[in-house]
A and B are shown apart, each in its own frame.
Chain A
Amino acid sequence: MPMLALAFHVDLRYAIGASLIAVIATSSGAAAAYLREGYSNLRIAMFLELATTVGALAGAAIAGFVPTSAIAVLFGAMLLHSAYLSRKSLAERDTVAPDPLAAKLRLNSQYPTEDGPRHYEVSNVKSGFGVMFIAGGLSGLLGIGSGAVKVLAMDHVMRIPFKVSTTTSNFMIGVTAAASAGVYLGRGYIDPVLSMPVMLGVLGGSMVGARILMRAQTKMLRTLFSVVITVLGLQMIYKGFTGGL
């Protein structure tokens, strides 16, 4: 979306529409690959989608009234803070107790590793749920997947293993984006001619990316992730102040 708005001078409303399509394409394209590997957690996804879809609808509904530049700056600042946190949290990870609520909701599960399935437990369910509501709101408001915020909520707050976080988040962004895309479709924001190259390009990219993730090291992924959100954060703040968004 930043590319469309900045480089090609596309009206923000068309850019939001095309961007949502890109998000769904990313999600559905890659999710097909992840699901077969048994990483993503359907229960976590469904539970958290309660928060993200309601948030997305709320975000899309108020999108017309709130100055996006203000939100962009705020969001950018938040991303920078999260980038800092995601680096810091590496050292002090194993200190949080599992949440009894997670057991009640049956969120705890297992994922495949080289030495067979590994069990994991979920922490801080309520805080994670809250952050997901915000993530959904941002998605509806800005037409983004806010996958980075979702990964943070799952990885940093809920202490879900990183590969499970990223794949489950990817699975969720499609549903969240569909919730806001419905609203934007009714407003005529989604242009087929503009969405076509965006969608086909993204589909190709996400299928390749999904394959790489399976073999990649978690540590390298984490570093890449923090670099990406730092860049995103700086970009959002810059555009918020210059009014490019």
Chain B
Amino acid sequence: MDNTPAKTTAERDFQLEQALGRLLRAGVMISAALVALGAVIYLSREGNQLSQFSTFTGQPPRLRTPSVVIRESLQGRGRSLMMFGILILLATPVVRVGLSVIGFFREKDWLYVGMTLFVFAILMYSLLG
């Protein structure tokens, strides 16, 4: 086994992983902050009402549409803010996969560029399709 190229690959992988780690952490922090803020607003307005989850009604369509969620979050609506935070959390793994494509591209590792693009396409299909 030739050791030198393998080592540089491992080192590059490590750098890429570290960048991804920082990104994940930032996404999680922002998401948690939004959810916490939304919770405070929601609880201060509607906290005295008892929530009902034993029967399934489904979320109203406005909370299923990202653009509406973002618009209502800016208006300071608690539920929408929490949903916005949840959407950001949902996006962290997706962005991670997207950035991995770039990382493998820079290493000219076409096999992994292809694989990662495929995973990314599945995620986009799931979230938007």
* A177 CA to B94 CA, complexed, in Å: 11
* Shortest distance from the beta carbon of B62 to any chain A beta carbon, whole Å: 11
* A118 CA to B55 CA, complexed, in Å: 53
**Contact, CB under 8 Å: A179 / B10:** no
Is the C-beta of B115 less than 8 angstroms from some C-beta in chain A?
A: yes
Task: Kindly list chain B residues whose C-beta atoms are within 8 Å of the C-beta of A109.
Answer: 10, 13
* A213 CA to B126 CA, complexed, in Å: 32
**Contact, CB under 8 Å: B116 / A28:** no
**Contact, CB under 8 Å: A188 / B119:** no
Interface size class of A (residues with CB under 8 A): 35 or more
**Contact, CB under 8 Å: B38 / A29:** no
Task: Kindly list chain B residues whose C-beta atoms are within 8 Å of the C-beta of A8.
Answer: 53
Q: Which of A134-160 contact B (CB under 8 A)?
A: none
Q: Which of B51-95 contact A (CB under 8 A)?
A: 51, 53-56, 58-61, 63-64, 79-80, 82-83, 85-86, 89-90, 92-94
Is the C-beta of A1 less than 8 angstroms from some C-beta in chain B?
A: no
**Contact, CB under 8 Å: B28 / A191:** no
Task: Kindly list chain B residues whose C-beta atoms are within 8 Å of the C-beta of A124.
Answer: none
**Contact, CB under 8 Å: B90 / A42:** no
* A25 CA to B28 CA, complexed, in Å: 7
Is the C-beta of A195 less than 8 angstroms from some C-beta in chain B?
A: yes
A184-203 near B? 1/0 per residue, CB < 8 Å: 01111111111111011001
**Contact, CB under 8 Å: B89 / A46:** no
Main secondary structure on B side of the interface with A = helix
Chain B residue nearest to A117 (CB atoms) is B10
Is the C-beta of A225 less than 8 angstroms from some C-beta in chain B?
A: no
Cβ 8 A contact of A196, one of B38, B103, B127, B128:
B38
Is the C-beta of A110 less than 8 angstroms from some C-beta in chain B?
A: yes
**Contact, CB under 8 Å: B63 / A14:** no
* Shortest distance from the beta carbon of A10 to any chain B beta carbon, whole Å: 4
**Contact, CB under 8 Å: A10 / B59:** no
**Contact, CB under 8 Å: A36 / B119:** no
* Shortest distance from the beta carbon of A208 to any chain B beta carbon, whole Å: 14
Chain A residue nearest to B103 (CB atoms) is A42
Task: Kindly list chain B residues whose C-beta atoms are within 8 Å of the C-beta of A9.
Answer: 53-54
**Contact, CB under 8 Å: A36 / B112:** no
Task: Kindly list chain A residues whose C-beta atoms are within 8 Å of the C-beta of B56.
Answer: 11-14
* A50 CA to B14 CA, complexed, in Å: 21
Task: Kindly list chain A residues whose C-beta atoms are within 8 Å of the C-beta of B94.
Answer: 175, 178
Is the C-beta of A131 less than 8 angstroms from some C-beta in chain B?
A: no
* Shortest distance from the beta carbon of B2 to any chain A beta carbon, whole Å: 12
B-to-A contact residues, CB < 8 Å: 9-10, 13-14, 16-18, 20-22, 24-25, 27-28, 32, 35-36, 38-39, 42, 51, 53-56, 58-61, 63-64, 79-80, 82-83, 85-86, 89-90, 92-94, 96-97, 100, 103-104, 109, 111-112, 115-116, 118-119, 122-123, 125-129
A-B contact pairs, 28 of them (CB 8 A): A12-B56, A27-B93, A28-B89, A28-B93, A35-B20, A38-B14, A42-B100, A53-B119, A106-B9, A174-B93, A178-B94, A178-B126, A180-B126, A182-B90, A182-B127, A182-B128, A188-B63, A189-B59, A190-B83, A192-B38, A192-B82, A193-B79, A196-B38, A196-B39, A196-B82, A199-B32, A199-B86, A203-B28
